[in-house]
Each structure stands twice: as C-alpha cells, then as structure tokens.
Amino acid sequence: MPTRKSEAARPPAPQEAAAAFRNTEPARKALEPAELLPINVDIPRAVSTALGTLGPLAELRPRIIAELPKHPLHILEGLRELAMAAWYAHLRVLPSRSPVRCRH
C-alpha cells in the first residue's frame, strides 16, 4: 500500500492552539511527577512534523487497526490536539516581542 510522504505543516492560529491546551488540561494534571521529562526537542519543529503526518497517518489508520491490534489508537486520534497544546505551551513561555526598557 503506497503512502504519500508527510510534510511539515504550519500550526494554526494561537486561539485554536489555546483551545487544545485547555482541552488537554485534565490529562496533563493527571500526570505524576515521575512521568514528566525534560524537554529536549525543538517544539515548533516537532509540532510542525506531527501536524504534517496527520494526513498520511489517517490514510494508514485501517492498516494500523488490522496489523497492530494492540496499538493504542487514542494516541493517533489525539495527535493533532496534543501537538497544538504543546505549541501553545511553547508560545506561552516565549519572551515578549515588545522591547524592554532599562532604567539607569
């Protein structure tokens, strides 16, 4: 079964990412401290890559179900929202674009 190559995708508007961040709050709050890991990836690149794979992964869904019956499909089905939530979390910690004025 040939599949198309995934491409990077531009994240949508911050408002949509903010909604994904809110929607994933219960899952984030349910994490135990031991489940948290340091972030060592380029978040914008990882989000772009994840969003770019959604189309090809959707095409493979029937094959994933048939060939990987124990694969947790909720990960595949929630990938867009998780990627958007990660992007919004990244946006929240970026430095302000407004210039900082120092007083002497």
| Contact present, 17 and 81 (Cβ < 8 Å) | no
Tokens for 56, please give them.
Answer: 């090809």
pTM score > 0.95 for this model?
no
| Number of domains comprising the chain | 1
The pLDDT value given to residue 4: 55
Determine if residue 96 is left, alpha or beta; phi over 0 gives left, psi from -120 to 50 gives alpha, anything else beta: beta
33 occurs within a structural domain: no
Residue 98 binned pLDDT confidence (cut-offs 50, 70, 90): low
The pLDDT value given to residue 1: 47
Burial profile 26-59: b = 16 or more Cβ within 10 angstroms, e = fewer: eeeeeeeeeeeeeeeeebbeebbbbbbbeeebee
Q: Which residue has better confidence, 42 or 9?
A: 42
Q: Domain range spanning residue 73?
A: 42-94
Q: Which residue has better confidence, 38 or 8?
A: 38
Residue 5 binned pLDDT confidence (cut-offs 50, 70, 90): low
35 occurs within a structural domain: no
